[in-house]
A = this chain, B = another copy of it.
């Protein structure tokens, strides 16, 4: 096993490995979901729709062109749960691993500041890392499933039904899968704040990023109790951004909808509605209402929140929280005539700043091209199209109802966006890029006028 991993790492780039894993997982999912045993009797799913479901599941997006509970048998539903696991945990594991490899290349002084378990960044630590991630996620999912089953029992005739729904809901929330068995997301539980709260917690644990989870674990259960624990800059920055986006979303929805959708509601209905859907845009993709009932201001804000997405090395997509944070921090510092971002008593590396800007602009370009194509192929208002595009790129899975009506070309565009959103633009850049060219010569530099 170790030798294979070492060979693989020498032969392929991280981007190629992540992409390869993704494509393998999609192929396996298509085969599994095509098994007759996976379908309810008499249900036929066209290949295109199975492919769409598989890509949506592996990228843990949750956009569906079919109704899950009407289409798949109990076995099919269990297959779907496995696919979500492999999609959610797999890419997250690989992402975290390569991040740890990258850090090994950094100078000794900087490395000493990183308090994450260094053993993991050794090649031999890959197996241990995967084991640790899977253990952590499974514990979270199991606890979630038990809690949800206990609460869901009042909605279902048998414990078995409650358990299947509870388990599926827990996995769907933790992996930010966004799939549902109700055929109508969490709308049936729109007054059950307990279920909503459990879902918010599970979504957040999945979307906050694995490095954050493991650092918090190490903080709570230290291996060297006497030693001072320091959270990494990444954990601080991504958690802060995540929290601020959650707050921004909640407050925005409350303000904008107070004169529209929230008229006649009491405070806890308003708060839970706003808080749940703000959390859902991080990449959860669940909803307790028909989002078409929101006004356009809220929906446009949802678009940008989904576009930003979740933390890196998480189950979510989008340009990622840190990318967004660096953009804003750099613009602020740049306007003040300063090129160095200082935050949490650390300085951001120039490479990361440039990468964050490249990722953002490229993401804008991709989403723009996708929007134009959908505007041509679909007959729908711009807001529905833009919402669908941002939802796919952010692997969020929220929709204004366009997904089942998509044309063939439209489905392809959304599938590509889910794929790119899931593997992340950094990987995508390496895929589209050619081989590194040595340029040992230089032309004279010449200034030009900008903006």
Task: Write the residues of chain A forming the contact surface with B, with a CB cutoff of 8 angstroms.
Answer: 95, 99, 102-103, 106, 109-110, 113-114, 209, 211, 232-234, 237-238, 256, 295-297, 299-301, 304, 312-313, 319-320, 322-323, 326-327, 330-331, 334-340, 342, 345-349, 351-352, 354-365, 368, 371-373, 375-376, 381-383, 386, 424-426, 429-430, 432-437, 439, 442-451
A425 touches B451 (CB 8 A): yes
A443 / chain B contacts, CB cutoff of 8 Å: 342, 345-347
Q: Is chain A's interface secondary structure helix, strand, loop, or mixed overall?
A: helix
Given A340-B439, A361-B357, CB of A451 within 8 Å of CB of B424: yes
Copies in the complex: 2
A-B pairs with beta carbons under 8 Å apart, 28 shown:
A103-B447, A106-B447, A109-B444, A110-B445, A110-B446, A113-B444, A211-B449, A232-B446, A234-B446, A296-B382, A297-B372, A297-B375, A297-B376, A301-B372, A312-B451, A320-B450, A322-B448, A322-B449, A322-B451, A323-B451, A331-B361, A335-B429, A335-B434, A346-B444, A349-B447, A355-B451, A356-B450, A363-B451
B448 touches A237 (CB 8 A): yes
Closest CB-CB distance, A376 to chain B, in whole Å?
Answer: 4
Docked CA distance A57–B312 (Å): 46
A348 touches B445 (CB 8 A): yes
B234 touches A448 (CB 8 A): yes
A430 / chain B contacts, CB cutoff of 8 Å: 335
B338 touches A448 (CB 8 A): no
Given A297-B376, A451-B426, CB of A446 within 8 Å of CB of B346: yes
Given A425-B451, A451-B320, CB of A442 within 8 Å of CB of B340: yes
Closest CB-CB distance, A118 to chain B, in whole Å?
Answer: 15
A238 / chain B contacts, CB cutoff of 8 Å: 448-449
Closest CB-CB distance, A82 to chain B, in whole Å?
Answer: 27
A359 / chain B contacts, CB cutoff of 8 Å: 450-451
A376 touches B437 (CB 8 A): no
Set B357, B375, B449: member contacting A295, Cβ < 8 A: B375
A361 touches B358 (CB 8 A): no
B349 touches A445 (CB 8 A): yes
Docked CA distance A357–B362 (Å): 11
Set B234, B382, B447, B449: member contacting A449, Cβ < 8 A: B234
* CB-based closest 8 A-B pairs: A337-B436, A335-B433, A312-B449, A359-B451, A297-B376, A357-B357, A297-B375, A233-B446
Docked CA distance A340–B102 (Å): 23
A355 / chain B contacts, CB cutoff of 8 Å: 450-451
A109 / chain B contacts, CB cutoff of 8 Å: 444
A365 / chain B contacts, CB cutoff of 8 Å: 331
Please name the residue on chain B nearest to A436 by beta carbon: B337
Q: A300-B371, A381-B383 are in contact. List 9 more A-B contacts (CB 8 A).
A: A110-B446, A209-B449, A232-B446, A234-B446, A322-B448, A330-B358, A336-B436, A381-B381, A424-B451
